[in-house]
Amino acid sequence: MLALGLLTAAGCAINFSKRSPWDIQQLAELSDQLEQFKTLARLKAEEINELRRAKGLMEQKLSGSGASIGYDERGLVTRLVDQVLFDSGKADLRRGAYPVLDKVAQVLQEVPDQPVGIEGHTDNAPIKVSGWADNHELSVARANAVLSYLVEKHGIDSARLTAMGYGEDHPIESNETAAGRQKNRRVEIVILPRASGASYREEADRVSGHRSRYTK
């Protein structure tokens, strides 16, 4: 019985050591996948460090501008209140907007591989005398104005940029107060993870056509 057990164990060892070509191929594929995962993890860590560095630069350059900078599920978000950029009901950049956007451009140039979203937002006050059809149209025009400035003045690659307007659909404060409405009137510059660029553009296309890319 002992001899039979030893033979059985030996047989198992022999069978285990003699892998089929299929087993070897599977192991090779798993090894390749593992290397890919390691590469992705390294790239992800590098990208996280890039976003952290961009956040520090943005905070430094926009100190005192009234901008707020932080992370959310989209990426690194810089919020610029509309009175810094535009006159009421207008989509032409104020002269005072140029120094702020110049500093934003400097940070974007530091992370040239990251896609960037530019989102226009408004409060819920109906459009009355500005000539825009609605708040969505105004928010799109404002996002486009920022995008065009970054491309034309600073040479930011337009392929990186997607502009869209949400109008009043995404408030960050209550529209019941003047202070809340003021915060809701904003443009957000979103530095996206590289893997999110395509899905962000798809989301932008989904927003009822309220998306624009630079075509000049």
Distance between CA 164 and CA 139 in Å, rounded?
8
| pLDDT band at 190; cut points 50, 70, 90 | very high
What does the pLDDT read at residue 1?
A: 47
> Is 201 within 8 Å of 83 (Cβ atoms)?
no
- Taking all residues of the chain, what is their mean pLDDT, rounded to a whole number? 84
| pLDDT band at 209; cut points 50, 70, 90 | low
40: tokens are 């992705």
Q: What is the average per-residue pLDDT within 17-24? A: 62
Distance between CA 82 and CA 145 in Å, rounded?
12
SS (H, E, C) 84-119: HHECCCCCCECCCHHHHHHHHHHHHHHCCCCCEEEE
Q: What is the average per-residue pLDDT within 10-18? A: 47
**Is residue 111 helix, strand or coil?**
coil
pLDDT, tens only, 160-188: 999 999 999 999 999 999 999 999 999 99
Distance between CA 131 and CA 148 in Å, rounded?
21
Distance between CA 191 and CA 117 in Å, rounded?
7
What does the pLDDT read at residue 8?
A: 44
Q: Is the pLDDT of residue 140 over 50?
A: yes
Q: What is the average per-residue pLDDT within 126-133? A: 82
> Is 143 within 8 Å of 119 (Cβ atoms)?
yes
Amino acid at 181: R
Q: Is the pLDDT of residue 31 over 80?
A: no
What does the pLDDT read at residue 44?
A: 80
pLDDT, tens only, 88-127: 889 999 999 999 999 999 999 999 999 999 999 999 998 8
What does the pLDDT read at residue 118?
A: 97
Q: What is the average per-residue pLDDT within 7-27? A: 55
Distance between CA 62 and CA 54 in Å, rounded?
12
Domains of the chain: 39-212 (3.30.1330.60)
What does the pLDDT read at residue 128?
A: 80
Q: Is the pLDDT of residue 155 over 90?
A: yes
Give 88's DSSP letter: T
> Is 51 within 8 Å of 168 (Cβ atoms)?
no
Closest CA to 117 of 145, 147, 139, 91: 147
Closest CA to 78 of 96, 90, 60: 60
